[in-house]
Amino acid sequence: MLPEDQLWFTEYHAPGGMAQSWLLQAEKIDERRSPFQHIEIYQTASFGKLMAIDGCVMLTTRDNFLYHEMMTHPALFSHRGPQRVAIIGGGDCGALLEVLKHDTVQQVTQIDIDEQVTRLAEIHFPELTRGNDDPRANLLFDDGLAWIRDAESDSLDVIIIDSTDPIGPAEGLFGPQFIADCFRALKPGGVIVQQSESPLIHQALIKGIRDNMRAAGAGDLRTLGFPQPCYPSGWWSATLAIKGEGSLDAFRHADASNKAFDTLYYNAELHRGGLSEPAFLRAALE
């Protein structure tokens, strides 16, 4: 059959002047129109299931491990002993599952504005929502901006911002006020990580994220790149920072090497390598 006679899902990425398509096995298999966004589920031919929000791919069965591992383990191993963690966004629960692998963690609060993302993940990505019944997990469906604003000062060890692109409901999560509120809620030595889009396409945005973190009191700060085939350009990033004194190079390398749980991508050496930013990115971020 010719491609034009087959079913495809395409994400059009205007800022990068590009698009990416997946061959589908069937028409759309599920969708919800929530008060916040349009969530769709597709059965692809080679990536398993695919969730899109407002036309942007959020995850696929086949490659979400890359993003979820890199959004969590570098931050958690950069903290001496993370106990209290907050995830802003993350409604598919993939990041939550990775955080729960750390036995120092006593409480993880996930605040996603859209309950429908979690409900669809439970149906279509049950392998990611397995942690939701863990007594340490607390799932809230609420406005993350307000939750962080109202959080007690110096009360959190790690904050993970697992958001959609900076348009629509997530826009405020990329602003200076929210990041300042996150730093206030972090304990000194606490670690923040924000999904920071593509190192190739979104350099201005990454610079803005880093400026926000510096202004809010980041001691050390780094943007870690990693492959993520299902996102525009196939390459994505997580920007990490420590509140106050501390060095990201001093992460718990031995604990990461001897971790008592499995990962499919993350390991201590990739973590160390990721802390070294490529020259083109350094230049763009100066």
Instruction: Provide, rounded to whole angstroms, the least separation between the CB of residue 167 and ligand AG3.
Output: 9
Site for ligand AG3 in 165-184 (CB under 6 A): 165
Q: Which residues, other chains included, contact 134 with Cβ-Cβ below 8 Å and sequence gap of 6+? A: 100
Site for ligand AG3 in 77-136 (CB under 6 A): 90, 92, 94-95
| Residue 69, burial from CB neighbour count under 10 angstroms (0-12, 13-18, 19+) | buried
Instruction: Provide, rounded to whole angstroms, the least separation between the CB of residue 1 and ligand AG3.
Output: 27
Residue closer to ligand AG3 (CB basis): 232 or 274: 232
Q: Which residues, other chains included, contact 66 with Cβ-Cβ below 8 Å and sequence gap of 6+? A: 226, 227, 228, 229, 236, 265
Residue closer to ligand AG3 (CB basis): 205 or 268: 205
* Strand partners of residue 60: 50
Q: Which of 144, 169, 190, 232 binds ligand AG3 (CB under 6 A)?
A: 232
Q: Taking CB positions, which residue lies at the least distance from ligand AG3?
A: 56
Buried b / exposed e over 54-66, threshold 16 CB at 10 Å, is eebbbbbbebbbb
Q: What is the DSSP string of 219-233?
A: EEEEEEEEE-TTSGG
| Residue 164 binds ligand AG3 (CB under 6 A) | yes
Of 236, 224, 282, 285, the residue nearest 77 (C-alpha): 224
| Residue 144 binds ligand AG3 (CB under 6 A) | no
| Residue 26, burial from CB neighbour count under 10 angstroms (0-12, 13-18, 19+) | exposed
Q: Which of 98, 112, 157, 162 binds ligand AG3 (CB under 6 A)?
A: 162
Residue closer to ligand AG3 (CB basis): 8 or 276: 8
HSE of 61 in the Cβ direction (CA atoms, 13 Å)?
16
Instruction: Provide, rounded to whole angstroms, the least separation between the CB of residue 220 and ligand AG3.
Output: 24
Q: Which of 7, 29, 56, 140 binds ligand AG3 (CB under 6 A)?
A: 56
| Residue 195 binds ligand AG3 (CB under 6 A) | yes
Catalytic choice (63, 92, 157, 162): 162
d(CA 145, CA 193) in angstroms, rounded, equals 15
Residue closer to ligand AG3 (CB basis): 45 or 167: 167
Residue closer to ligand AG3 (CB basis): 68 or 102: 68
Catalytic status, residue 162:
yes
| Residue 220 binds ligand AG3 (CB under 6 A) | no
Q: Which of 39, 41, 50, 59 binds ligand AG3 (CB under 6 A)?
A: 59
Q: Determine the residue type at 98.
A: E
**The two three-digit tokens of residue 107, written as one number:** 């409480």
* Strand partners of residue 40: 31, 52
Residue closer to ligand AG3 (CB basis): 52 or 213: 52
Size of the site for ligand AG3 (CB under 6 A): 17
Catalytic residue IDs: 162
The footprint of ligand AG3 (CB under 6 A) covers 11, 13, 56-59, 67, 90, 92, 94-95, 162, 164-165, 195, 231-232
